[in-house]
Amino acid sequence: MERFSPTLARLAVRTQTPPPATHTNCYAIGARDVLLVEPAPADPAEQEAFFAWVSALKQEGRRPVGLFVTHHHPDHIGGLVHLANTLALPVFFHEETRLRAPEVAAWRLLDDGDRVVLDGPEPLTLDVLHTPGHAAGHLCLYDAQNGDLICGDMVASEGTIVITPEDGNMAEYLRQLERLDHLAAAFAHPAHGGPIPREASIFKRFIAHRLAREAKVLASLARFPEGATNEALLPVAYDDVSASANPIPYFAERSLESHLIKLEEDGKITRSSGRSTVRVSG
């Protein structure tokens, strides 16, 4: 349990999240009325730690008013139903997340541009940002008054963020990273790892990482004049990723497909019969 400011506290709970992370961060935001961000713990012992945390918040005079979900991935909603029922709290999420999450008794749908106002010594206004790319219904919360951005899985202070074609979109992910960078928040608070100060330029770094990988995929594909299947391209485009780092090979394969989809949409490659080929202009 950590307290960052009078309006923001964090509890890291152990979850079955992809490595190198081992925990998912839950946040309490608000000075009196508080939103509890990420009903993450599926493990009963971790759920008990969550309840103890909520009890400690109440003893400080803080009143939980809802559970906020950034997106529907299991390491973020593992305790959703149990926590919502036990605490008798409504769940705040995007419609795309509601469609993918277990049913709960009470909820409030949020979308881009909405605001959540929390009562306190001074009312705290939170801006809701719909930031798809990693997940269709991904939401961030921005406390402009204090410069805190709760950003879920848009970035992490450890490891990277996987973009899968089943659930994400590489081009949209990059657009949303640009948008978050322009906010110039004092701190980004991710779901995995510690708070990231503005001077770390985390969103620029993640954009640069993705563009560098895209360039490597394109350069690797140029080595196959007759085109290449994903299976043949993967060990060349991801030769810097250890094949023994399970489950990294799976994530690399899904990320590769996401990059190839974007490259095709950008008109840089053609795809046919399971093979990708660099498009030659002129």
Instruction: Give pLDDT tens digits for 220-270.
Output: 999 999 999 999 999 999 998 765 555 567 889 999 999 999 999 999 999
What is the token pair recorded at 257? 């497909």
Domain stop point among 180, 200, 220? 200
Q: How many domains does the chain have?
A: 2
Q: To 5 degrees, how large is the angle CA 257–CA 263–CA 266?
A: 145
Same domain, 140 and 233: no
Residues 222 and 141 in one domain: no
**Average pLDDT by stretches of 10, the chain with 282 residues:** 94 92 96 98 98 97 97 98 98 98 97 97 96 98 97 94 95 98 97 97 97 97 95 93 63 94 97 92 55
Average pLDDT of the chain, as a whole number: 95
Model pLDDT for residues 208-232, shown as the tens digit of each residue: 999 999 999 999 999 999 999 999 9
Of 197, 71, 196, residue with least CA distance to 135: 71
- Looking at the fold, whether 162 and 57 belong to one and the same domain comes out as yes
Are 233 and 151 in the same domain? Answer: no
92 shares a domain with 46:
yes
CATH code, domain with 262: 1.10.10.10
| pLDDT for residue 158 | 82
39 and 86, same domain (yes or no): yes
Question: In terms of domains, do 155 and 189 share one?
Answer: yes
CA 8 to chain centre: 19
90 and 223 housed in the same domain: no
User: What's the residue count for the chain?
Assistant: 282
pTM of this prediction? Answer: 0.94
- pLDDT at position 1 is 84
Domain hosting residue 174, numbered range:
2-200
Tell whether 20 and 69 lie within a shared domain: yes
